[in-house]
Chain A
Amino acid sequence: MASPHSNTVPPNADGDDADRAGATSAHSAAVDVLLEVRDLHVAFGRHAVLRGLNLVVPRGQTLAVIGESGCGKSVLLKTMIGLIRPTQGQVCFDGRDLAGMSERQLTSTRVRYGYVFQQAALFDSMTVGQNVAFPLRQHSDRSDEEIEQRVLSRLAQVGLPASVAPKKPAELSGGMRKRVGLARALALDPELVLYDEPTTGLDPIMSDVINELIMRTRLSYPVTSIVVTHDMHTARKVADRVVMLYPLARLAEDEPQIIFDGPPSELDRSGDRRVSQFVKGEAGERISELRGA
């Protein structure tokens, strides 16, 4: 399924593909693009994870990236913030290629990002309050009182009482840690928030709380969000647009890695068996692979 926001043109495309690439560039110029991925390839040694990805994320959009485990969703997210360098291609944030930035420029650009990690990635050695205050102390001249106020307000925003601030992350439940991670990611009012599997490992109620927080964050100010998930409930609830990646190991050389790009409502109407299988949670021919094993 095609989308005006993305294409899956391989590098050095010719003919129609080149026209599509040109059309995408023209479209990128027309909309207010915050993040653009151009012909992205990522490989670790000989193991390729992403191949020829093109993706345009307009400002204010909530994009869900879905796909089975190992398809490269988290690698894509880390490449989008410059934690992983592309083997080939570009990731442009607000028109500037991350790979072309110096270490200092990249560091200052990342202040405009928020990143919610799969396991929250809170600093063990610090309290919850110190964790949320960390980006504020790093990048603002606020006084201690102002920082404290901001920390408490961010914790309240994610539904946590002030009493958790002096606790260590190890004393919190998984859901609370995720919410602290979200509070920390939002501390500096980022323009782009990246969520890596925000509901993985949580019970259904806590998952819905996190979904609600993602939506409320967007309502509170015009943030752009990219949510990597394999939870279809999350994708349908929070996203304006869904992109589905497929593992390279299961694709032929000439097949695009993005097998779906469109609004969540279109997921059920996709004619691609791989998409409908994933959406319905059906193993399909994978069962025969198990028998073969």
Chain B
Amino acid sequence: MANSASPSARKTAPNPAAVPQTGSGHDWLADLGALIVDATSAIGGFAIFSGRTLAWLATRFPRGDTLWPNFYQVGVLSLPVVALTGTFIGMVLAVQSYAQFRALGLETRLGAVINMSLVRELGPVLAATMLAGRVGSAMSAELGTMRVTEQIDALASMGANPIQHLVVPRLLACLFMIPTLVIMADFMGVVGGYFYSVVILGIDQHHYWRNSEQFVGNFDLFSGVFKSLFFGATIALVGCYRGFHCAAGAEGVGRAATAAFVISFVLILLLDLLLGIMLEALYAYIWPEGAKLF
């Protein structure tokens, strides 16, 4: 050793000039700055991650043995819970709306309200929320565990790209399966609303369907399914991103799973608003007279 002093003794004392000032004004400014830097970094990281996923998606289609288990997990296993949720939401809509519509003598219009709400908003948003809770969190926890136990590093070390192998199949599964789930949620919601309105409340069946037919068009169905594609992509990308960037330990995995659901849910609502505005504008542009698509 060139220097005979002990290494610990040679550790330099902190330079007072380098120690940050601790005034309260400085603190909140520093915290705000750190928050902005962290948020920008997270958004940038997510954008790069999404871009790399789309690049791999365009380059090489995943093998069937990595694709089908994800389709099964996302689509088949989510079907019962989405169908159940849809049914109950249809019935709840009927319960909540009936009193007000009856007071106005418009109870036969319940079909239009229930079915319009379902196919345009509640079907896609609820199916996406269920998927974010059931699948997005699970993706995040699974990939987070793989990160913590070095399985993602193991994949990379064997010359397999982790994004191509783990993220692309999950994204495709969400993209292809969510429209199916939304249609199932819509269908079961319509059945649930019909059952409660017609069978339980005794509303006239003919007028119930007649009003539905008048107010609910194919564009409404299309807009719900169209929005769900964005919701599906969001659930997969956020879930996988949080899993890939999970902190160490069981706590890190738990936080990643929770964050995946919360962030997905907020983004789903934000996208729902933005896409809703865009689709309304598109509808008004194409059919200024209010004509229906198809």
Q: Which residue of B lies closest to A83 (CB)?
A: B153
Binds A, one of B156-164, B225-233, B283-291: B156-164
From B7, B8, B149, B158, A119 is in contact (CB under 8 Å) with B149
Is B1 interfacial (CB 8 A cutoff)? yes
Indicate if B218 sits at the interface (CB-CB under 8 A). Answer: no
A138 touches B11 (CB 8 A): no
Q: What residues on A are CB-neighbors of B214 within 8 Å?
A: none
List residues of chain A with CB within 8 A of the CB of B7.
246, 250-252, 255, 274
Which residue of chain A is the closest to B52 with respect to CB atoms?
A103
Give chain A residues whose Cβ lies under 8 Å from the Cβ of B146.
124
Residue of B nearest to A259 (CB): B1
Pick the residue among B8, B52, B149, B153 that contacts A289 (CB under 8 A). Answer: B8
Cβ of B3 within 8 Å of any chain A Cβ, yes or no, is: yes
Whether B151 lies near A123 (C-beta < 8 A) is yes
Q: A25 at interface (Cβ–Cβ under 8 A)?
A: no
B11, A119: Cβ atoms under 8 Å?
Answer: no
A115 near B: Cβ within 8 Å? yes
Task: Decide yes or no whether A278 CB sits under 8 A from chain B.
Answer: no
Chain B 1-23 interface 0/1 with A at a Cβ cutoff of 8 Å (1 = within): 11100111011000000000000
Q: Is the CB of B149 within 8 A of A110?
A: no
Chain A 115-145 residues near chain B, CB threshold 8 A: 115, 117-119, 121-124, 134-135, 138-139
How far is the CB of B222 from the nearest CB of chain A, in Å? 37
Q: Which of A246-279 contact B (CB under 8 A)?
A: 246, 249-252, 254-255, 272-274
In Å, the complex CA distance between A72 and B145 comes to 23
Residue B84 CB within 8 A of the other chain: no
In Å, the complex CA distance between A113 and B158 comes to: 7
Mask: chain A, 197-220; 1 = CB below 8 Å from B; 0 = not: 000000000000000000000000
Write the nearest CB–CB distance from A98 to chain B, whole angstroms: 12
Q: Does A21 contact B (CB under 8 A)?
A: no
* Chain A interface residue bracket vs B: 35 or more
Contact A107 B154 (CB under 8 A): no
A255 touching B159 in the complex, CB below 8 Å, given contacts A118-B150, A123-B151, A250-B7: no
Distance between B90 CB and nearest chain A CB, rounded to angstroms = 37
Q: Does A81 contact B (CB under 8 A)?
A: yes
Q: Which residues of chain B have C-beta atoms less than 8 A from A164's C-beta?
A: none
Query: What are the residues of chain A within 8 A of B150 when measuring CB–CB?
Result: 117-119, 121
Which one of A83, A138, A285 lies within 8 Å of B6 (CB-CB)?
A285
Q: How far, in whole Å, are A249 and B3 apart by their CA atoms in the complex?
A: 16
Known: A250-B8, A251-B7, A272-B1. A117 touches B154 (CB 8 A): yes
Find out whether the CB atom of A81 lies under 8 angstroms from the CB atom of B159: no
**Chain B nearest CB, measured from A48 CB (Å):** 14
- CB A53 to nearest CB in B, in angstroms, measures 18
Tell me which of A135, A273, A285 contacts B8 (CB under 8 A). A285
How far apart sit A255 and B11, CA to CA, in the bound complex (Å)? Answer: 12
Chain A residues closer than 8 Å to B156, beta-carbon distance: 83, 107, 110
Contact at A115–B157, with CB atoms within 8 Å?
yes
A134 and B159 contact, CB distance less than 8 A: no
Cα A252 to Cα B11 in complex, Å, equals: 6
A78 located at the interface, meaning its Cβ lies under 8 Å from any Cβ of chain B in the complex: yes
Q: What's the least CB distance linking B10 to chain A, in Å?
A: 5
Interface residues in B135-194 by Cβ distance below 8 A to A read 145-146, 149-151, 153-161
Taking CB atoms, residues of chain A closer than 8 Å to B157 are: 81, 83, 110, 113, 115
A/B interface sample: 24 pairs, CB < 8 A: A78-B153, A81-B157, A103-B161, A110-B157, A110-B158, A110-B159, A111-B159, A113-B157, A115-B157, A118-B150, A121-B151, A122-B154, A123-B151, A123-B155, A124-B146, A184-B158, A246-B7, A252-B7, A254-B2, A255-B1, A274-B1, A285-B6, A285-B8, A289-B8
6 further A-B pairs in the complex, CB-CB below 8 A; given A108-B159, A121-B153, A254-B2: A83-B157, A115-B154, A122-B154, A123-B151, A250-B7, A252-B11
B: residues with CB less than 8 A from A are 1-3, 6-8, 10-11, 52, 145-146, 149-151, 153-161
> What residues of chain A have their CB less than 8 Å away from a CB belonging to chain B?
78, 81, 83, 103, 107-111, 113, 115, 117-119, 121-124, 134-135, 138-139, 184, 246, 249-252, 254-255, 272-274, 285, 289
